[in-house]
A and B are shown apart, each in its own frame.
Chain A
Amino acid sequence: MRRNYWKIGEPWVWATGAALSVTLLIAVTLIAVIMVNGLGVFWPGKLQQLELKDGSKLLGELIQSEPVHRGEGLRRQYKIANRDLYGLDFRWIDETEILRADHPAAAIVLEREENGDFFGFLDAVQASGLELPAGAAPYAQLHAALDQVSVMKAAGHATDQQLSTASYRLEQLRRDQLKAEYQGVDPRSSSYQELLHEQERLKVDFEHLMKQQRKEQTNLRQYQATFSDANGRTSNIVLADIVQAYRPNQLAWHQQVIFYAAKLKELIVGEPRESNTEGGLFPAIFGTIMLIFTMSLFSFPLGVIAAIYLREYAREGVVVRVVRIAVNNLAGIPSIVYGIFGLGFFVYGIGSNIDKLFFPELLPTPTFGTGGILWASLTLALLTVPVVIVATEEALGAIPREFREGSLALGATRFQTLLRILLPMASPGIMTGLILAMARAAGEVAPLMITGVVKLAPALPIDGNFPFFHLDRKFMHLGFHIFDIGFQSPNVEAAKPMVFVTTLLLVLIVLAMSSLAIRLRNRMKKRYTFSTF
């Protein structure tokens, strides 16, 4: 009876179920941790004011509480912000030290361009040049002032834009000049002189713009407001530095929702601030998606064509078997090794030769001879090509012999058979390979770190300046962003929420791209495989 139980295989069925459950549990837990920590980051927390036993006061946002190590009671962690005043953003308080706690309605949070948040109270607005509602409460005055300052800031942005265009054109002219000198153009020739004139003219423009920008800046910085912290220490803060001001203890729930949505929007379309720990992630999102697409552009055709040769044209033998084993083993090489190869082969090998051939006038400043999105994509393509090859080979091999023979028997050549019958039928399997390759590429960080990813890229790899696609540019990437703010940031504690948010975004992007590919695959499956039998 007992023997029979084992023989029937019941325990093995249970074991398979258990294995699946464990895998699911791990995946669900991971996603849940990321979701819980990532989604809550932007919800405006309430500010608590504590009176401590030593007579001092503290205003902060409760982050967590935990049992005191080898003692009794709890200790709480507060975010107290005001890095410029205290030096630290976070503070641990023993519960036994707390005399009283309340939520003062007037407590205000300032998000600033520099030094993180400010928690405190508003004293007065000093903005003599602005039109403030006379007799209104200071908070209303602050918002009126902030609105006017933001209009001025927007005008300043236009100047910034002009400045960056001017500097880009200056750089182009400098390159043209270098090129002309390299080619030995006569310095007295009209074209060269014209170049110099143009440069002079632009320089004047540039200086003028710089002056204007400086003037605008000084003008803006005269508008300030006085704030005080919980202990009455006052601080003058320039209005132009304030990104957002709000009183969290007075927000109704719908205001909280609006606040949350606004922060989320900033995250997706905004630029990063404060060494990436605040602000948006747009350049990193853009860089990640573009990297994956460029990678697919290289690895997909290369992998499919290589697999076609291996499966359809190569004569089965020792060589093909060795190649196949090698391809399969490529997938097991640590990704950093690919990175080093990419650096040595693409960047220093091909890149520096491109520079010698096409941009010799700029040397020793490298153009392609340094990390960039093109080299990073190629490195990732190399890394993912085995996945595409294996998937394509499997897909081609899984097509029953009859279809191949049926086509050949009608007088089709092997190539016609491949193009008209085999590839369409293999397409769902090939798509699966592409999905796996994309997911793998999206998660890689190590090879990127030495082939062109940067903490903060000055410009996107695609912009309005000719030739629009700047594949030599360095780029930002969500995966590297996680590593950078999580481990390289000067203020790791303050960056923690951003780590979770970035992770969540990366997971969502991978999810979105693979679901798109999976939908495509299912459509192909429906078209090219048997539905009735």
Chain B
Amino acid sequence: MPTTAPQPTVAPIIEVENVDFFYGPTQAIHGINLSFPRKQVTALIGPSGCGKSTLLRCFNRMNDLIDNIDVRGRITLNGDDIYAPTTDVIELRRRVGMVFQKSNPFPKSIYENTIYGLRIAGVKDKAVLDESVERSLKGAALWDEVKDRLHTSALGLSGGQMQRLCIARAIAVNPEVILMDEPCSALDPKSTARVEELIGELRKEFTIIIVTHNMQQAARVSDFTAFLYEGFLIEFGQTDKMFMKPKKKQTEDYITGRFG
């Protein structure tokens, strides 16, 4: 049962056409059609197990790590088919960065963490790396806190700082899209506020797709919202409109906290 949704007016960067997703025999996503607008924040909301993380992980093919999966339909990034056999996954992942639920800085220095993406791409020029570290850490609002200890271990940072370091790491390679999978669920309210503030800054340069369980967060940070339920896209639209006046009963029930 393919679901159609009103398309936003902004030019899309990622387009999802009739996508089904299977874990072995279990279908997790049912015929979703969706367009993600460029340089906007789109939130994916829905109860646990609704397929929002699975959908998110399709955009950088993180699902490839799991055995026995099957993706049908078409997902394009700037017109390039993500699941085409000719697609270079390494290249794709440089264009689509990701920030995870649990912050995962590598056991290296703050400096090395930030430029990890450049290092593995083979960048060796010290000036370029230095410049990238400063720009990325400033972009992730972490520079002032760590500029004096760039070469100490990243594992000594606080939870909120670690998550911002992961964001800095993601933006260091200049991706077109940043995926965020519940980036604040392990953070305290103060750190959450900082990350949300940061998302507001980042949307000037990047397209952001964020999965969240937190309705208020979705309402605060996103421009567009997609509500998924049991693998189906129920509703997609501008966040303020959707939260003020949801079109579907299920959306209203979820947003107002009647279930989920």
Contact = CB atoms under 8 A, between A and B. Distances in A.
Given A315-B67, A411-B94, A416 B120 contact: yes
A424 B60 CA distance: 26
Nearest to A410: B117
Given A316-B67, A410-B170, A402 B102 contact: yes
A528 B109 CA distance: 11
B93 interface: yes
A424 B153 CA distance: 14
A60 B166 CA distance: 79
A64 interface: no
Contacts of B214: none
A395 B173 CA distance: 30
A424 B170 contact: no
Contact of A406 (B67, B90, B119, B166): B166
Contacts of B153: 527
A528 B153 CA distance: 9
A532 interface: yes
- Report the contact-size class of chain B (Cβ under 8 Å from the partner): 20 to 34
B117 to A, nearest CB: 4
Given A315-B67, A425-B107, A412 B120 contact: yes
A403 B117 CA distance: 14
Contact of A403 (B90, B106, B119): B106
A403 B169 CA distance: 13
Contacts of B65: 404-405, 408
A294 to B, nearest CB: 32
Nearest to A316: B67
A530 B105 CA distance: 10
B100 A405 contact: yes
A418 to B, nearest CB: 12
A402 B102 CA distance: 7
Contacts, number: 76
A365 interface: no
Contacts of A400: 102, 104
Interface in B53-103: 60, 62, 65, 67, 90-91, 93-94, 97-98, 100, 102
Contacts of B102: 400, 402
A334 B119 CA distance: 48
Interface in A111-163: none
Interface class of chain A by DSSP: helix
B155 interface: yes
Given A316-B67, A411-B117, A530-B155, A406 B106 contact: yes
A413 B100 CA distance: 18
Interface in B88-136: 90-91, 93-94, 97-98, 100, 102, 104, 106-107, 116-117, 119-121
Interface residues of A, number: 27
A214 interface: no
A402 B182 CA distance: 13
B173 A410 contact: yes
Nearest to A425: B107
Contacts of A407: 106, 116, 120
A406 B100 contact: yes
Contacts of A413: 90, 120
Given A316-B67, A400-B104, A531-B156, A409 B97 contact: yes
B106 A409 contact: no
A509 interface: no
Contacts of B100: 402, 405-406, 409
Contacts of A527: 107, 153
Interface in A388-407: 400, 402-407
Nearest to A402: B104
Interface string B147-169: 00000010110010000001001
State the 10 A-B residue pairs at the shortest beta-carbon distance, nearest first: A402-B104, A411-B94, A409-B98, A410-B117, A406-B104, A528-B107, A411-B93, A412-B120, A416-B120, A411-B90
Given A409-B98, A410-B170, 5 more contacts: A316-B67, A402-B102, A403-B106, A405-B98, A411-B120
22 contacts: A315-B67, A316-B67, A400-B104, A404-B65, A405-B65, A405-B98, A407-B120, A408-B62, A409-B93, A409-B98, A410-B93, A410-B94, A410-B117, A410-B169, A411-B90, A411-B91, A420-B119, A421-B107, A527-B107, A527-B153, A529-B107, A531-B155
